[in-house]
């Protein structure tokens, strides 16, 4: 696999010529805004909410979006932005908390009201050809607020309203400032994509220069320049993220790449064998396989707390990885498949105003003494973008579309303590879930499907004998971005086959349940 040399006179060299900045005020969905902007083929970066005007000017953005956030703008210590932003002449769009900041900056009023809006709402739109161009006079939106703008100065005009929110959107009469109380970035606002497109393309005058092909070429060139003659180590997991990182590195530096697979005993059925076969076939690279099953199981013995499981797995992974890496001469860099959701859920984004939901060993567990410089080429990408990039790089579709698998592996799908016996039960049940979904032709239509072994035994009857055995939960979700997800409406006959096969073929299981929780409030993984 050889990539063509980047043409620096092409659009690849103009990848950030037009850029939108998202100022993050602590919203869990700031990344969704950036993702929606990129869907317009416009480059987008997320920056701190308190970035200075001088730093913004250095970015030379075409537009600025102020994200939502959990605070109230009138509270002491609430996050603020540099008010000089509004006088730069750059179009600004405030969303939810961002709208309230704009209102406050210009002398308007924001109050907590008894008429809160959480969920679906219908807005009535005033005639407007810039922000709401091409939209009907009424449309459904997604609201999530207790505070709202109650009064604006004469320099603003309302653009939309709901039955309980008189100013659901507004714009400044002279400056390129726009704001809306609802969230156009979420899929629950059906025409939100068009609203953001109007802002990015019509208001900010962007053309759409950013493409994943250009991103790939520029990233390959940057890796090649940064690495020089040194060697890079890449950790493989069997998932699409590490595979795409390896593909980028291989096209950038070829034989200077060494890959390490740590078989921690927490992988899916035949996962290690599959990785070895795939990377022997698609990459002629230096592959090291570390059999560390015993070390991991010893480290996890008796541990039931989810975060402690992740911490111990992360620690043991680093130790095993480090020991193998030291055998590789001239290695200076370590490459990882860290994605945007990993970063935000670890609370690591932008020095992180967002709350930590879970630990990810690939963003929080590597100690400084490891001695390598990190390369994280996918850190700003979402899962769907990574898949598209994988296809762009020539990876096979069955690898690119493989369902995600968590870094801690089956440990976070085996609730309570971890034993080899429990892992064996879970591994077989999980294999049945995936194989039946594939057989039904539903694998590509679902985003993630797996089994969870519950710390629960229940009474059952098999033949003429009473049983008291394990329960397995089946989790299958649909999502565009893995930040939100809905449970998959699998046909009853598919669920029936899954249940029947697990109970009949997996010794120690007599009950199967189907998880019908959405994210939020639940997470996709159980731990």
List the one residue out of 452, 449, 446 whose CA is nearest residue 429: 452
Q: Which of 18, 117, 185, 278 is catalytic?
A: 185
CB 389 within 8 A of CB 210: no
Q: Which of 81, 96, 204, 234 is catalytic?
A: 96
Q: What is the DSSP string of 277-333?
A: HHHHHH--SEEEEEE-HHHHHHHHTT---HHHHHHHHHHHHHHHHHHHHTTSTTEEE
Counted residue by residue, the chain has a size of 527
Q: Which of 145, 183, 360, 403 is catalytic?
A: 183
Strands (E), 33-86: 43-48, 63-66
Q: Containing H/E element for 390? A: helix 383-392
List the one residue out of 40, 42, 156 whose CA is nearest residue 94: 156
Q: Is 428 a catalytic site residue?
A: no
**240/242 Cα distance (integer angstroms):** 6
Q: Is 183 a catalytic site residue?
A: yes
**331/262 Cα distance (integer angstroms):** 18
CB 339 within 8 A of CB 13: no
Residue whose token pair is 């035994």: 457
Beta strands at 509-514 and 465-478: parallel, antiparallel or unpaired:
parallel
C-beta atoms surrounding 163 within 10 Å:
11
CA dihedral 423, 478, 236, 303 (to 10 degrees): -30
Residue numbers annotated as active site: 96, 183, 185
């Amino acid at each position: 696999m050889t990539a063509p040399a980047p043409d620096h006179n092409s659009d690849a060299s103009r990848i950030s010529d037009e850029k939108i900045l998202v100022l993050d005020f602590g919203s869990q969905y700031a990344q969704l805004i950036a993702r929606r902007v990129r869907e317009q083929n416009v480059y987008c970066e997320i920056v701190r909410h308190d970035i200075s005007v001088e730093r913004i000017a250095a970015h030379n953005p075409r537009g600025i979006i102020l994200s939502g956030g959990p605070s109230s703008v009138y509270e002491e210590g609430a996050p603020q932005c540099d008010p000089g932003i509004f006088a730069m002449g750059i179009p600004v769009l405030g969303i939810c908390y961002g709208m309230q900041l704009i209102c406050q900056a210009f002398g308007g009023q924001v109050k907590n009201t008894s008429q809160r809006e959480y969920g679906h709402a219908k807005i009535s739109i005033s005639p407007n050809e810039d922000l709401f161009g091409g939209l009907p006079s009424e449309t459904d939106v997604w609201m999530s607020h207790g505070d709202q703008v109650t009064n604006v100065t004469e320099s603003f005009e309302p653009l939309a309203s709901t039955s309980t929110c008189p100013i659901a959107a507004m714009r400044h009469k002279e400056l390129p400032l726009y704001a809306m109380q609802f969230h156009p970035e979420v899929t629950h606002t059906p025409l939100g994509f068009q609203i953001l497109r109007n802002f990015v393309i019509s208001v900010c005058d962007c053309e759409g220069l950013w493409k994943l092909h250009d991103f790939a070429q520029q990233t390959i060139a940057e890796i090649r320049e940064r690495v020089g003659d040194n060697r890079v180590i890449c950790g493989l997991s069997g998932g699409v993220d590490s595979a795409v990182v390896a593909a980028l590195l291989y096209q950038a530096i070829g034989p200077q790449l060494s890959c390490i697979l740590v078989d921690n005993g927490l992988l899916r059925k035949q996962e290690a064998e599959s990785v070895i076969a795939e990377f022997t076939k698609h990459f002629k690279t230096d592959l090291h396989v570390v059999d560390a099953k015993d070390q991991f199981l010893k480290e996890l013995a008796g541990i039931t707390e989810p975060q402690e499981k992740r911490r111990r797995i992360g620690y043991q992974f680093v130790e095993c990885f480090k020991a193998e890496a030291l055998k590789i001469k001239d290695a200076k860099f370590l490459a990882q498949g860290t994605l945007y959701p990993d970063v935000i859920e670890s609370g690591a984004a932008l020095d992180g105003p967002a709350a930590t939901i879970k630990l990810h060993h690939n963003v929080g567990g590597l100690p400084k003494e490891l001695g390598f410089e990190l390369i994280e080429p996918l850190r700003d990408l979402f899962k769907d973008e990574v898949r598209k990039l994988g296809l762009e790089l020539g990876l096979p579709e069955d690898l690119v579309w493989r369902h995600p698998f968590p870094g801690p592996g089956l440990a976070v799908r085996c609730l309570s303590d971890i034993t080899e016996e429990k892992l064996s039960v879970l591994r077989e049940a999980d294999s049945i879930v995936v194989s039946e979904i594939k057989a039904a032709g539903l694998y590509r239509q679902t985003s993630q499907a797996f089994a969870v072994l519950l710390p629960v035994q229940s009474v059952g009857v098999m033949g003429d004998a009473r049983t008291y055995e394990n329960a397995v939960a089946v989790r299958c979700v649909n999502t565009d971005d893995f930040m939100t997800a809905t449970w998959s409406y699998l046909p009853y006959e598919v669920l029936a086959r899954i249940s029947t096969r697990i109970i009949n073929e997996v010794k120690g299981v007599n009950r199967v349940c189907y998880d019908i929780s959405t994210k939020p409030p639940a997470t996709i993984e159980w731990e």
